[in-house]
Amino acid sequence: MKTLRLNVFIYPVILIVFLTFVSILLSPISAQAQGRPKGHLFIIGGGDRSEDMMKRFVDLASKAGQGRIVILPMASSTPEETGQRLVEEFQNLGAKDAVFYNFTRREAEDYARARWLAGSGGIFFSGGDQSRITEAILDTPVHKMILDLYQQGAVIGGTSAGAAVMSELMITGDEARKPEEGHEFETIEAGNVILARGLGLIKTAIIDQHFATRRRHNRLISVIAGHPELVGIGIDEETAIIVYPDQSFDVIGNKNVIVYDASKAKITAGPRRSIGIRGLIMHVLLPGEKFSITRKK
């Protein structure tokens, strides 16, 4: 009986100690996941990238983790060639350690392979088709590792498709109507722009790229008319934004960043899914200017 009483007493104590220990271990992770990220986002609108621009990425990556830069070229139709080319580009810019991983979906679901990214100072997504990125890594251990790295202080960057994938709601590049080639996105209408989940590094905005160069105003206006809670950010070619932990960004490069804000606009529906918007705010930002995408409650 004495032994029985001892066990009855000890087992709950052991359980409480164990649960307390687990709680202590997990609490920093939960707090970190919910708190402000320590890292930066480096979002390029596509086109040519100047050395000065890319050296800024290398500099930010060198200050986080082990300073290693990992290129993820899954968006490209030729990922192996694209990955190797970007490795050489970063090495020529002074990166001490640069590698690329062309993850398949099966590989991205492997926790051991996700650990390949641990300690990275920078992650860089190539251009191509943004849907290839999400098909490969969305909701996988690799995706979670990238989010964790951003929280811990790494810089997460990308160009073109690698820019579009940054936001939680992603423009896929497709539209519901089937226009002839050369007549894409000629309308401002509801339900035409096909959207999908992105990687969720930006919660309060949606990104479009090659913006003024490819006349994508109709596309982004259509999107924010349906999602006025989001800021629409159109980044032109040869241009980038650097998003800081406080959710402000700097414009760098050679051209413009155009921001649409429909949060206080009056949006009306017209015939054949057309949209009317009164009170839409548009900002045309120059290199060197700063903007905040934090939504005031």
Residue with tokens 């051991």: 112
- Are 244 and 206 within 8 A, CB to CB? no
Q: What is the pTM of this model?
A: 0.86
Partner residues linked to 234 by β-bridges:
208, 258
pLDDT confidence of residue 35: 78
Write out pLDDT tens, residues 163-194.
999 999 999 999 998 888 888 888 899 999 99
DSSP string, the chain: -HHHHHHHHHHHHHHHHHHHHHHHHHHHHHHHHHS--SSEEEEE-SS---HHHHHHHHHHHHTSTT-EEEEE-TTSSSHHHHHHHHHHHHHHTT-S-EEE----HHHHT-HHHHGGGTTEEEEEE-SS-HHHHHHHHTTSHHHHHHHHHHHHT-EEEEETHHHHTTBSEEEEEEESS-PPTT-TT-S-BTT-EEEEE---SBSSEEEEESTTTTT-HHHHHHHHHH-TTSEEEEEPTTEEEEE-TTSEEEEEESS-EEEEE-TT-EEEE-GGGBEEEES-EEEEEPTT-EEE-PPP-
Q: Please state at what angle helix 141-152 crosses helix 2-34, rounded to 10 degrees.
A: 70
With a cut of 90, say whether residue 8 has pLDDT above it. no
- Does residue 32 surpass a pLDDT of 60? no
What is the pLDDT at residue 266? 96
The CATH architecture to which 39-292 belongs is 3-Layer(aba) Sandwich (3.40)
The mean pLDDT value for 148-163 works out to: 98
Q: Report the pLDDT averaged over residues 147-175.
A: 97
Q: How confident is the model at residue 28 (pLDDT cuts 50, 70, 90)?
A: very low
Q: What is the pLDDT of residue 186?
A: 85
What are the residue boundaries of the structural domains of the chain, listed by start? Answer: 39-292
In the prediction, which pLDDT does 147 show?
Answer: 98
pLDDT digits (tens, 9 = 90+) for 247-273: 999 999 999 999 999 999 999 998 988
Mean pLDDT of the chain: 89
Task: Calculate the CA 53 to chain-centre distance.
Answer: 18
